[in-house]
C-alpha cells in the first residue's frame, strides 16, 4: 500500500482557516473543507489554530480570498479525489503522461516520439517532485546553502536527471535506466531534425508508460492509475512479412543511432532484457475456439504453457543482439589464441566476406561496424581448424 505521510495544512490553507474562524465558523465545519481522500487532517489542528497554538505568524486571508475559495470549492477531480491546488504536482504528472500517450497515439503526426519523450519527462519530473515533497525532501538547487533562483526570481527545482540519481529515489534500476535512455535521446533531438524514430524507440516508450503507471500507483495509491483514461488503442493495419522487415530496417539518423548504441552497450545483458527498460509484445493473430473469449483483443497466457513458450520464442528471436567492436572481439579471441591480432582479424573478415549483412555476423551503426556473437564463434572455429594468415 502506498505510504501517505502528508497530513499538514499548507500556508495558504492556514490563512483560509483563519479567515473562516474570523467569520465564526466552528472547527468541525471548517475541517470538512480541508479533508479529502488524498489527505486526512486532524480536527484538533483547526482548534489549535483558533487558540493560537499553531501557525501564529501566518496572516489571515482577506474576505475576497475567502469568498473566492468558497466559490471554487471543492476543486477536486471527481475521478481521483485529487485536489487541483493541494495535489497540483500529482494532477500535473497524470495529465502530462495522458497527454504524452494521446499525442503519440494521435493520427497524422510525424514526430510522435519526440513529442512523447518531452512530455513524458515533464510527467516523471512532476511525479518525483510530488513524492519528494511528501517525503520532506528539499528538491531545490542550493549553492553554499542558498536556494538558487532564475533571473526572474523563481526557485530552481531539480530536473528529472537529478531526481533519478538522488540516493532516496524510489524507482527500480530498470525504470531509472529507461529514463536515462530517454533523457539521452531527448538531448540528441533538441534543436535537430531527426526523421521518424518511432519504430526504433517503441519498446522503450511502452516501458516508460507502464513504469509510470506502476510507479504512481505504488507511491500514491491504486486509484491514481491511468488505465481508465487510456484504454486499448486500435489501429488500421496488420503486420505482414514485408511490413515487419520494414520496421526492423528503420534508418536512424547517425547521432540517434550512436546515442542508442553507446547507452545500451554500457548496460549488462540482464539490464537490457529488463522489461522496465524496454517492453516488448508479440502480436499473434488469434482465432479462438471458445465463444466466450473469441472477441478478446488481448489474451493472457499461463507461464510455462505451450502458448507461453510460443510467445517466448517470438520475443527471443526479436531480441536486440549484444554488439562488439573489433578490438573487443580480438581481446576475447586472444584468451584462447594469444597470437591472434587485429591484422589477423581484418584478414579473416575479408576472406570470409564477414561484413556482408546477409551473413548476420554484424551490423553497421552510424557508419561504424559492430560484430555479433556468431562472428566470435566463427573465428574460434576457423582457428581451431588451423587457419593461418599465410
pLDDT tens-place string over residues 127-148: 999 999 999 999 999 999 999 9
pLDDT at position 80: 82
Residues 2, 169: Cα–Cα separation, whole Å: 15
Q: pLDDT value at position 253? A: 61
| Domain boundaries along the sequence of the chain | 11-72, 88-245, 326-384
Give the CA diameter of the chain.
Answer: 102
- How high is the pLDDT of residue 25? 93
The model carries a pTM of 0.62
Taking Cα atoms as reference points, which of 79, 7, 72, 14 lies closest to residue 42? 7
In whole angstroms, give the CA distance from residue 43 to residue 7: 11
Three-state DSSP string of the chain: CCCCCCCCCCHHHHHHHHHHHHCCCCHHHHHHHHCECCECCCHHHHHHHHCCCCCCCCCCCCHHHHHHHHHHCCCECCCCCCECCCCHHHHHHHHHHHHHHHHHHCCCCCCHHHHHHHHHHHHHHHHHHHHHHHCCCCCECEECCEECECCCCCECECCHHHHHHCCCCCCCHHHHHHHHHHHHHHHHHCCCCCCCCHHHHHHHHHHHHHHHHHHHHHHHCHHHCCCCCCCCCCCCCCCCHHHHHHHHCCCCCHHHHHHHHHHHHCCCHHHHHCCCCCCCCCCCCCCCCCCCCCCCCCCCCCCCCHHHHHHHHHHHHCCCCCCECHHHHHHHHHCCCCCCCHHHHHHHHHHHCCCCHHHCCEEEECCEEEECHHHHHHHHHHHHCCCCCC
Q: Are the beta carbons of 64 and 71 closer than 8 angstroms? A: no
Residue 319 neighbours by CB distance under 10 Å:
11
Residues in CB range of 8: below 8 A, 6 or more apart: 41, 45
Per-residue pLDDT of the chain (390 residues; tens, 9 = 90+): 455 555 688 899 999 999 999 999 999 999 999 887 777 888 899 999 999 999 999 999 999 999 999 998 888 887 788 888 888 999 999 999 999 999 888 877 778 888 899 999 999 999 999 999 999 999 999 999 999 999 999 999 999 999 999 999 999 999 999 999 999 888 877 655 566 676 678 788 888 999 999 999 999 988 899 887 776 555 554 444 444 444 444 455 666 667 767 777 777 877 777 778 776 655 555 555 555 555 555 565 665 666 666 665 555 544 557 888 999 999 999 988 999 999 999 999 999 999 988 888 888 887 789 999 889 989 998 898 888 876
**Separation of CA 78 from chain center:** 26
Conformation bin of residue 354: beta by default, left when phi > 0, alpha when psi is -120 to 50: alpha
Q: Return the pLDDT at 62.
A: 96
Q: What is the pLDDT of residue 23?
A: 94
Three cell numbers, residue 332: 576475447
pLDDT at 286: 57
**Whole-number pLDDT of residue 72:** 86
Amino acid at each position: 500500500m502506498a505510504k501517505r505521510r502528508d497530513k499538514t495544512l499548507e500556508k495558504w490553507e492556514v490563512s483560509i482557516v483563519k479567515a473562516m474562524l474570523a467569520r465564526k465558523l466552528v472547527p468541525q465545519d471548517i475541517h470538512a473543507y480541508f479533508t479529502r481522500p488524498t489527505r486526512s487532517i486532524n480536527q484538533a489542528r483547526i482548534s489549535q489554530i483558533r487558540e493560537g497554538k499553531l501557525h501564529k505568524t501566518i496572516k489571515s486571508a482577506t474576505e475576497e480570498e475567502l469568498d473566492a475559495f468558497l466559490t471554487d470549492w471543492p476543486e477536486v477531480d471527481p475521478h481521483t479525489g485529487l485536489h487541483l491546488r493541494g495535489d497540483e504536482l500529482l494532477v500535473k504528472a497524470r495529465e502530462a503522461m495522458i497527454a504524452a500517450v494521446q499525442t503519440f497515439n494521435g493520427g497524422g503526426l510525424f514526430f510522435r516520439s519526440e513529442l512523447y519523450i518531452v512530455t513524458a519527462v515533464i510527467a516523471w519530473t512532476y511525479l518525483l517532485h510530488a513524492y519528494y515533497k511528501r517525503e520532506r525532501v528539499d528538491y531545490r538547487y542550493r549553492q553554499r546553502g542558498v536556494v538558487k533562483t532564475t533571473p526572474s526570481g523563481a526557485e530552481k527545482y531539480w530536473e528529472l536527471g537529478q531526481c533519478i540519481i538522488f540516493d532516496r529515489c524510489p524507482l527500480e534500476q530498470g525504470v531509472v535506466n529507461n529514463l536515462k535512455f530517454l533523457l539521452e535521446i531527448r538531448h540528441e533531438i533538441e534543436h535537430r531534425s531527426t526523421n521518424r524514430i518511432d519504430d526504433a524507440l517503441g519498446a522503450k516508450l511502452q516501458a516508460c508508460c507502464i513504469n509510470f503507471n506502476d510507479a504512481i500507483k505504488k507511491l500514491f495509491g491504486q486509484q491514481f492509475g491511468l488505465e481508465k483514461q487510456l484504454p486499448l488503442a486500435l489501429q488500421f493495419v496488420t503486420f505482414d512479412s514485408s511490413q515487419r522487415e520494414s520496421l526492423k530496417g528503420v534508418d536512424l539518423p547517425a547521432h540517434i543511432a550512436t546515442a542508442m548504441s553507446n547507452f545500451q552497450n554500457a548496460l549488462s545483458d540482464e539490464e537490457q532484457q529488463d522489461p522496465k527498460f524496454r517492453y516488448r509484445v508479440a502480436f499473434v493473430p488469434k482465432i479462438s475456439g471458445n465463444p466466450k473469449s473469441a472477441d478478446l483483443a488481448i489474451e493472457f497466457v499461463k507461464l510455462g504453457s505451450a502458448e507461453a513458450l510460443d510467445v517466448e520464442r517470438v520475443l527471443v528471436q526479436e531480441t536486440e543482439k549484444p554488439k562488439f567492436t573489433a578490438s573487443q572481439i580480438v581481446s576475447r579471441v586472444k584468451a584462447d589464441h594469444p597470437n591472434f591480432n587485429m591484422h589477423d582479424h581484418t584478414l579473416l573478415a575479408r576472406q570470409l566476406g564477414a561484413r556482408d549483412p546477409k551473413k548476420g555476423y554484424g551490423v553497421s551503426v552510424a557508419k561504424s561496424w559492430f560484430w555479433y556473437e556468431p562472428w566470435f564463434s566463427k573465428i574460434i572455429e576457423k582457428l581451431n581448424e588451423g587457419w593461418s594468415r599465410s
